[in-house]
Chain A
């Protein structure tokens, strides 16, 4: 068996609209990555990116999930939701652009940094979205220190 075949995989469901549990998935992922012995900087980048992704699902989608896969050398997270989808991805990626409602902002969320912040903290960032169906993110974090 090649070392790249060795993988730890765990799925974390996220319920849309459930602000009271916001951050639980990212907290679990953060602790898991620490237990796997990854460096603090990788753990933090993954924690921040998954926190933002988790919040996006809670804010905009009905439901979604994060699937974490850890292999030697890389952490890979797929974020999928069944939500409204994003019409203009480029615009959504702009720092400060937000479609958050007043209610969300009152809770302290929706500053319009989410997707940009996710991208900033990942080594490889892929986003695909279909309006009316949902959004899918693929986040890769390299754990042996080198940027691609």
Chain B
């Protein structure tokens, strides 16, 4: 058991009071309470951020990029997630938000909806060229990738081998900005504005490439206030942003923040969109059993209702969803991607993974199959003697997990207060 080192969430020991909320909420049972503090187990954590949602003490912190980290780069580029467009009131249009980001201090603001559409077209080409395997699973949600690596290793080859829009956008900017702006490449920092901490871990420890094209991810929660104040202090910007729009939005791309938003553009294919971490686990199991072979594309996002339900958002997800749906309706089917451009990028492998996603399975009970069998037997015996109250007081999320920890040598029988009481 190793403590959390490479994950995007961390426990603040000053704030953590050792209650059981995060541990019970964790869908992969990756949290234990040791010495009255929560501890994240590295190999089991998938960075879903459920702990962050459930902590009543605000002790789970996301390791996203801070404003002081931005100072390292003289030329700052930002690629906001489309989730940001749903965080302000209905009267605030995306162009105003992009304009405000410029005023906040970013040298270049890049709107991502066109790249979302580009990715969609690339996926369409990939589907036509590869009849197997089915279903293909979208690569956008980094948590889904991490879940597949750890819990559904056979599905690694089902993941669409195209980098998600945020990475492709950053890649395009890296290739073109130095030439366009005459700023040396090393001075350019490219940042995503993210609704979840998982994007940060996908930048620091990417699953499908050696190094991410992004330099960091700023949480919507952290930057919201700054944007909000700028929007209110500079009313004339609104007019300017309408007269001189930063970009042309893609109607098919702007809805990708919502569950089903990615597959919406795939008109000629059978698609399924699932959101929420538990339903995602359920449907991935069904895929492994071969029950979804008649589906072409499966889009899974572990946040409820899609990225719009991310743990680092500010606005309640129903309102944010309604606003983004309104934008989708306003922009309609407007496409901005030239198919021949996309085809060129696709055939140059510009949009693809560097290397396939590899399984990262948690360790078995024992490397030796004979010992593993004995340990499984002992685990069942131990479990029989536990009270099955699943109270979490022992520091494990439930009695079954405590039994597992005991046979793995990571907990003791009398960690259970009921067993201890009986013994004394």
CA distance A72 to B153 in the complex (A): 23
Does A32 interact with chain B (Cβ within 8 Å)? yes
Contact residues in B for A70 (Cβ distance below 8 Å): 373, 376
CA distance A40 to B358 in the complex (A): 13
What is the chain B residue whose CB lies nearest that of A121? B290
Choose the segment among A5-13, A83-91, A95-103, A122-130 that binds chain B (4+ C-beta atoms closer than 8 Å). A5-13
Does B380 interact with chain A (Cβ within 8 Å)? yes
Q: Which of B286, B290, B374 has the most CB of A within 10 A?
A: B290
What is the chain A residue whose CB lies nearest that of B376? A8
What is the chain A residue whose CB lies nearest that of B373? A8
CA distance A27 to B364 in the complex (A): 16
Does A37 interact with chain B (Cβ within 8 Å)? yes
**Contact of A6 with B285 in the complex, beta carbons under 8 Å:** no
What is the chain A residue whose CB lies nearest that of B367? A37
Assess A36 versus B365: contact at CB under 8 Å? Given A10-B380, A47-B288: yes
**Shortest CB distance B52–A (Å):** 26
**Contact of B369 with A37 in the complex, beta carbons under 8 Å:** yes
Contact residues in B for A119 (Cβ distance below 8 Å): none
Overall SS of chain B's interface: helix
Does A44 interact with chain B (Cβ within 8 Å)? yes
Does A141 interact with chain B (Cβ within 8 Å)? no
Within 352-404 of B, Cβ neighbours of A (below 8 Å) are at: 359, 361, 364-367, 369-370, 372-374, 376-377, 380
**Shortest CB distance A61–B (Å):** 20
Task: For the complex, count residues of B whose C-beta is within 8 A of A.
Answer: 21
**Contact of B370 with A3 in the complex, beta carbons under 8 Å:** yes
Contact residues in A for B366 (Cβ distance below 8 Å): 37
**Contact of B285 with A27 in the complex, beta carbons under 8 Å:** yes
CA distance A45 to B154 in the complex (A): 12
**Contact of B288 with A6 in the complex, beta carbons under 8 Å:** no
Contact residues in B for A48 (Cβ distance below 8 Å): 289-290
**Contact of A36 with B289 in the complex, beta carbons under 8 Å:** no
CA distance A32 to B366 in the complex (A): 12
What is the chain A residue whose CB lies nearest that of B290? A48
Residue interface mask A31-45, B partner, CB < 8 A = 1:
010111110110010
**Contact of B369 with A47 in the complex, beta carbons under 8 Å:** no
**Contact of B364 with A44 in the complex, beta carbons under 8 Å:** no
**Shortest CB distance A10–B (Å):** 7
9 additional A-B residue pairs with CB within 8 Å, beyond A37-B365, A40-B154? A30-B285, A30-B288, A34-B364, A36-B369, A37-B366, A40-B153, A40-B359, A41-B154, A47-B288
Pick 14 A–B contacts, CB within 8 A, sort by A: A3-B370, A6-B374, A8-B377, A23-B285, A32-B376, A35-B364, A36-B369, A36-B373, A37-B366, A37-B372, A48-B289, A51-B289, A70-B376, A72-B373
7 shortest interchain CB distances as A-B pairs: A37-B364, A8-B373, A8-B376, A36-B372, A35-B365, A37-B372, A72-B369
Q: Which residues of B contact A (CB under 8 A)?
A: 153-154, 285-286, 288-290, 359, 361, 364-367, 369-370, 372-374, 376-377, 380
